[in-house]
A and B are shown apart, each in its own frame.
Chain A
Amino acid sequence: MNAMVKNTGLFALVALLIVITGIMQSWNTALLILNMGLISAIMALGVNLQWGFAGLFNVGIMGFVALGGLATVLIAMPPTEGAWAAGGYGIVLGLLMGAATIVAAVMAWARLPKGRVRSLAVLAILIVGFFLYRAVFDPAVNAVEAINPASTGNIGGLGLPILMAWPVGGLLAAGVAWVIGKTALGLRSDYLAIATLGIAEIIIAVMKNEDWLARGVKNVIGLPRPVPLEVDLQRDPEFVERAASFGMDAVTASTIYVKLEYAALFAVVLIILLWMAQKALNSPWGRMMRAIRDNEVAAEAMGKDVTRRHLQVFILGSAICGIAGAMMTTLDGQLTPGTYQPLRFTFLVWVMVIVGGSGNNFGSVLGGFLIWFLWVQVEPIGLWLIGTLTSGMADGALKAHLMDSAAHMRLFTMGLILLLVLRFSPRGLIPEK
């Protein structure tokens, strides 16, 4: 079978699955899968850039996705009245002082002669800096958080269009990726995996606890939307009329219409990123990345700065995850830091990349759609399966337990799929050329 035909067939299969969902369940469910599938595909594309092109092992995808989500709040929410005057500048000043402390400590370490004096000096800088930072930062934070804590209590955003948050989310993720990459890739041998694992948890901890930033676990709801609200559409007589001509009631039509608009927006982003990733893969830069991956020693001997290239690709991949994170929060319409969990946002994306085919952009996109579809649908299928299997059983504690537990089949299935693909098709469904 021709590879082209096979790949088209695989994409057609996923499309068919989504269409079947539309017919069997509802078009709203189908479109929701499509929308999240588009976002998942983008995340997978980002991770594929890192793992597929460069062999970088990023297990902190969750953190970059969350940063994208944070960007939506900082860009699109209206500024909180009086927050900047109350403490916003104090917070910025505090953070700057914190950063200055670290810079000063690093400089002292680099400049002073080796010895006890240096150690003591660095320690002193860090301790004094820390208390100064807390002295400026804490009251400012308290002031901001005191402003109407039930609905705001944070510094709010810039009130800009939410679509701007997407690139900004990417930039935010890129910035953090630069810091991580600079430290974790710069040592004699890299330790990116543990670094990303740790940073992701820290990012989530910051987002949960720093209420002044995005209200922490109190969540930010009611983010502005790039598409019309369903209720507005339902009030629009023209829309109701057009829906009726399709034979749909206004409520269903409006929800579907909104989801289609999201799908269109996401599809545009995916296509642009996919096009860029393909271009990059086949450019001299992409060829060099793969040359480094396949034979680092030779590439280094040819004068390629491997660390620099790795840093570049790590930042790019993380930025793409940040964009996807911003898109996801936009789709949700709210930022809920408590929902970021590594299994869902880090390891599931890995399953997508491996199943789709590491090193192949189309593979990642396929993996994103397919795995997301399964992630959503395994639960009802599992429930149905357990229901069928236990239909002969007498009602009782065991049956109830099994029915309750069916939901957890999803994790099991994801693991099984990953293992089966790794075992029998280790290059993934659409292998690298």
Chain B
Amino acid sequence: MSNSNPYQDDRGNKDRSITNPGGQGTAEVRRKSGPVTAAPDTPFLIGESMTGGYGKGPDILHDCTIAVDRGEIAVIVGPNGAGKSTAMKAVFGMLDVRSGRVLLDGEDITTLTPQDRVIKGMGFVPQTHNIFTSMTVEENLEMGAFIRTDDFRDTMAQVYDLFPILKEKRRQPAGELSGGQRQQVAVGRALMTRPKVLMLDEPTAGVSPIVMDELFDRIIEVARTGIPILMVEQNARQALEIADKGYVLVQGRNAFTDTGKALMADPEVRRSFLGG
């Protein structure tokens, strides 16, 4: 314990009459964003040869590149611990990228904080804790639109069109919904900023196969509205089926990169990652 931050040492105290552990943030409130520079003629969103890790820890990503272009669904797959989510978080600015850069819509945003990337047009849906459970569905969507100062009723109507069940349950606390519905709230919340690109971290984790299929359908629908989607998926087969582009990561490195169909057809990918 002696090395860790003494202010974070609670001596194992779990006295709920004085401390509230719920909802406490883990993300570091980072220093100010750096400058944004123009980077023309590049893919719409690309994390280019990213190397880095969390804080002062060892590198998890090694020269890893992830990109998605307009109108595409790009999927990151790979075995457990391959750094799939880490790669996405690197694109979103949640870990230190020590070399490489992140470009969005012709701009170099490598030094921006995650909050500023949201303002720049990134929509991010974390894998867990991705809704405000004590707030109603509608309030969740409103909070998604927090940075917008204009009228966002249209966007909300669009989200309700995409996810009709949410409209039905808009007055219910989001925490009372089923797993699949919660994921829809989470995606809906991210859509409220009218993002230029939507990033989903394992949206189907922990839902039943039927719900999973429905979620994939919804994601395709979102993509059809013209928003490029970058997605990390555990269920490689289904994900690659809907993917325009697939990235197979192994130990933080790009192992295979191709279209979804080509990866599905690649015998080596099938043998190693898709179970034959």
Binding site for B on A (CB under 8 A): 51-52, 54-57, 189-195, 292-296, 358-359, 426-427, 432-433
Are the C-beta atoms of A427 and B15 separated by less than 8 Å? no
Q: A426-B6, A427-B6 are in contact. Are A293 and B11 (CB under 8 A)?
A: yes
Are the C-beta atoms of B17 and A191 separated by less than 8 Å? yes
Residues of A contacting B32 in the complex (Cβ-Cβ under 8 angstroms): none
Are the C-beta atoms of B16 and A294 separated by less than 8 Å? no
Task: Give residues 1-48 of B contacting A (CB, 8 Å).
Answer: 1-2, 6-7, 10-18
Are the C-beta atoms of B17 and A193 separated by less than 8 Å? yes
Q: A194-B18, A426-B6, A427-B6 are in contact. Are A294 and B12 (CB under 8 A)?
A: yes
Residues of B contacting A193 in the complex (Cβ-Cβ under 8 angstroms): 15, 17-18
Are the C-beta atoms of A292 and B12 separated by less than 8 Å? yes
The 7 A-B pairs of least Cβ separation, nearest first, read A55-B11, A191-B17, A194-B17, A293-B12, A55-B13, A426-B6, A55-B12
Q: A426-B6, A426-B7, A427-B6 are in contact. Are A294 and B15 (CB under 8 A)?
A: no
Residues of A contacting B11 in the complex (Cβ-Cβ under 8 angstroms): 51-52, 54-55, 293, 358-359
Which partner residue on chain A sits nearest B1 by CB separation? A294
- B147 shortest CB reach to chain A, Å: 34
Could you say which of A57, A292, A432, A433 contacts B15, with CB atoms under 8 Å apart?
A57
CA A190 – CA B14 in complex, angstroms? Answer: 7
CA A294 – CA B6 in complex, angstroms? Answer: 13
Are the C-beta atoms of A55 and B1 separated by less than 8 Å? no
**Would you mind naming 10 contact pairs between A and B with Cβ atoms under 8 Å apart?**
A56-B15, A189-B15, A190-B14, A191-B15, A192-B17, A193-B18, A194-B17, A294-B1, A294-B12, A358-B11
Residues of B contacting A54 in the complex (Cβ-Cβ under 8 angstroms): 11-12
Which partner residue on chain B sits nearest A423 by CB separation? B7
Residues of A contacting B12 in the complex (Cβ-Cβ under 8 angstroms): 54-55, 292-296
Count contacts between A and B, CB distance < 8 Å: 46
CA A359 – CA B12 in complex, angstroms? Answer: 13
Which partner residue on chain B sits nearest A197 by CB separation? B17
Are the C-beta atoms of B14 and A189 separated by less than 8 Å? yes
Which partner residue on chain B sits nearest A422 by CB separation? B7
Give the secondary structure class of A's interface.
loop
Are the C-beta atoms of B6 and A190 separated by less than 8 Å? no
Residues of A contacting B2 in the complex (Cβ-Cβ under 8 angstroms): 432-433
CA A295 – CA B10 in complex, angstroms? Answer: 11
Which partner residue on chain B sits nearest A297 by CB separation? B12
- A46 shortest CB reach to chain B, Å: 16
CA A426 – CA B15 in complex, angstroms? Answer: 20
CA A426 – CA B16 in complex, angstroms? Answer: 23
Which partner residue on chain B sits nearest A306 by CB separation? B12
Which partner residue on chain A sits nearest B10 by CB separation? A55
- B14 shortest CB reach to chain A, Å: 6
- B19 shortest CB reach to chain A, Å: 9
Given A193-B15, A293-B12, A295-B12: 20 more A-B contacts, CB < 8 Å: A51-B11, A54-B12, A55-B10, A55-B13, A56-B15, A57-B13, A57-B18, A190-B14, A191-B16, A192-B15, A192-B17, A193-B17, A193-B18, A194-B17, A194-B18, A293-B11, A294-B12, A296-B12, A426-B7, A432-B2
Which partner residue on chain B sits nearest A191 by CB separation? B17
Interface flags for B130-170 (1: CB within 8 Å of A; 0: not) read 00000000000000000000000000000000000000000
Residues of B contacting A51 in the complex (Cβ-Cβ under 8 angstroms): 11
- B17 shortest CB reach to chain A, Å: 4
Which partner residue on chain B sits nearest A187 by CB separation? B16
CA A295 – CA B14 in complex, angstroms? Answer: 12
CA A81 – CA B99 in complex, angstroms? Answer: 88
Which partner residue on chain B sits nearest A190 by CB separation? B15
- A304 shortest CB reach to chain B, Å: 12
Residues of B contacting A426 in the complex (Cβ-Cβ under 8 angstroms): 6-7
CA A190 – CA B21 in complex, angstroms? Answer: 13
Residues of B contacting A293 in the complex (Cβ-Cβ under 8 angstroms): 11-12
CA A392 – CA B209 in complex, angstroms? Answer: 83
Which partner residue on chain B sits nearest A56 by CB separation? B13
Q: A51-B11, A55-B10, A55-B11 are in contact. Are A189 and B16 (CB under 8 A)?
A: yes
Which partner residue on chain A sits nearest B16 by CB separation? A189
Residues of B contacting A55 in the complex (Cβ-Cβ under 8 angstroms): 10-13
Residues of B contacting A432 in the complex (Cβ-Cβ under 8 angstroms): 2
CA A48 – CA B30 in complex, angstroms? Answer: 35
Residues of A contacting B10 in the complex (Cβ-Cβ under 8 angstroms): 55
Residues of A contacting B18 in the complex (Cβ-Cβ under 8 angstroms): 57, 193-194
CA A433 – CA B7 in complex, angstroms? Answer: 16
- B13 shortest CB reach to chain A, Å: 4
CA A17 – CA B4 in complex, angstroms? Answer: 34
Residues of B contacting A56 in the complex (Cβ-Cβ under 8 angstroms): 13, 15
CA A177 – CA B262 in complex, angstroms? Answer: 69
- A335 shortest CB reach to chain B, Å: 30
CA A78 – CA B18 in complex, angstroms? Answer: 43
- A366 shortest CB reach to chain B, Å: 18
CA A426 – CA B11 in complex, angstroms? Answer: 13
Residues of A contacting B6 in the complex (Cβ-Cβ under 8 angstroms): 426-427
Which partner residue on chain B sits nearest A427 by CB separation? B6
Residues of A contacting B7 in the complex (Cβ-Cβ under 8 angstroms): 426
CA A51 – CA B15 in complex, angstroms? Answer: 12
CA A358 – CA B13 in complex, angstroms? Answer: 13
CA A192 – CA B11 in complex, angstroms? Answer: 15
- A265 shortest CB reach to chain B, Å: 33
- B6 shortest CB reach to chain A, Å: 4
- B3 shortest CB reach to chain A, Å: 12
- A424 shortest CB reach to chain B, Å: 11
Which partner residue on chain B sits nearest A359 by CB separation? B11
CA A359 – CA B11 in complex, angstroms? Answer: 9
CA A292 – CA B12 in complex, angstroms? Answer: 8
CA A250 – CA B10 in complex, angstroms? Answer: 54
Residues of B contacting A296 in the complex (Cβ-Cβ under 8 angstroms): 12, 14
- B21 shortest CB reach to chain A, Å: 9
Task: Give residues 49-65 of B contacting A (CB, 8 Å).
Answer: none
CA A224 – CA B14 in complex, angstroms? Answer: 43
- A44 shortest CB reach to chain B, Å: 16
Which partner residue on chain A sits nearest B14 by CB separation? A189
Residues of A contacting B13 in the complex (Cβ-Cβ under 8 angstroms): 55-57
CA A190 – CA B18 in complex, angstroms? Answer: 10
Residues of A contacting B14 in the complex (Cβ-Cβ under 8 angstroms): 189-190, 296
CA A116 – CA B120 in complex, angstroms? Answer: 61
